[in-house]
Structure 1
């Protein structure tokens, strides 16, 4: 069995060719797609976070709204850029959204990706400390977040509080028990995957990673997952970790599918530079269901992961994306033993 969800980048554009033309469209359609995914039997609704862009940006109002409209599906992010985050406000917002969803949040966080503006986190009031890089700053924010999510008191109460306090040091409220174990790190390298394992975060591996060996993308990603699990075991955490991978995956079952994705596009991995890192980008899978199943049998990283996130073309609208999810759940997942 494998959990299967979707990952939306939440793009919107005023183009007449887009079904998502405003920020309101992006938000409301994200809620509708999560509801549709739950009705179809999918397991997760995940959303990318980007600042200064015509994409989804502030995740917690959206996650809370989805939590109030659904009852079973996991709700998450993939990923929140911790360079931009105040970890204490993050913990409060996440705690509230998790309580609304009754403990269904699965929050992916990371050092982040290239943004729309230069050093955008500075406009949010953050900057690396002396001797720090921006990646160090993101990891520092993360370690503070993980600490306060434990729910332990750390703040000295006022001797003249507005309301009566419980005894001892105060923690952040609202606290949602168990959320600390549902934080995922979006790792681009094997090293950061091992670091995440040491801190007890789950692993979220995307459609790109640092090209560390020159091998095919899915082989490098599978190696990353194995190194993560080995580091987790070495750290001695009491619970088992989770691992997700993301894929662009389209069964061609209708003429509309073939018009959008059956165009003979390049189906090989791509290599390029991103943030001064040589990165390898995974291929898009688009084929008739039987051929797609055979292609996916060869993907080592999907085999290693317990969760598969399908990147969806959200600008094609809710109905089409629900169709893509249904096609995977109906034509692909059973044949591969995922359902």
Structure 2
């Protein structure tokens, strides 16, 4: 009798048809972004200790500018406000971490405009950006204001700036002087560089939080950094310098793992990480650009759709996908 009543109750329920996903775990964009913000706090604290109050001012300007530009865009478009999802806050933090503490504040505002309006809003908003907004803004600022973007302040803590200089003007903090620093100095960020790039210990601490909360996986950062380590050994470059100076850890942990700009499958993520490491080393070892990580991430962001198409797993019970070459190098998946 109970089974009959249960069947009748089920038959009375409306049939709901919808697209995937059909199972929700309660994870929202806001929760993901909040985890990233928490993971960035050690690097924020380290930048304030190493570079002083000016570093915190730059962070405040980029975060406030990014939030303001997003709110203004939603208001002008008469859309629901999206600043509450914290994605603009994360973009502001990452942008600041890619800037030197000496950057003129108006340039930081310009970078925020490029990140939020040009690289994100004009392409449809969060989830539709073609590349990481902070990376796009960094590259635009590097091309437009090269001198300001390469004016790296020396550490402001007593005893940390052994050379006694106040700033280092260089195309990249991966200068010969960095190779003379001890491993401890490199890990703790005792060298010139962008705000969030110098303290490797703080970045790794944030990485642990992201792994524990399952916000990111180890695949992309591990393959990216591992490729740089392997190529550094093969080419005779100092491994510690390549890993802990420049933007490798910041890019690998917080920007290469952007959900929108990275592949979805494990194979795709491995290919993605290998490409990131290879391009980074090509630029660092033989190029003349200021740092290779930003350009590597931008380039690989652009080819993610092709990586996904070639590494997408076959449906359960379906035939294995093949990539067939046709004509003049053109190919397609079957």
Q: TM-score, normalised by structure 2?
A: 0.24
Larger helix fraction of residues: 2
More strand by share: 1
Bigger Cα Rg: 2
The one of the two structures with greater contact order (alpha-carbon pairs below 8 A, sep at least 6) is: 1
**TM-score normalised by structure 1 residue count:** 0.24
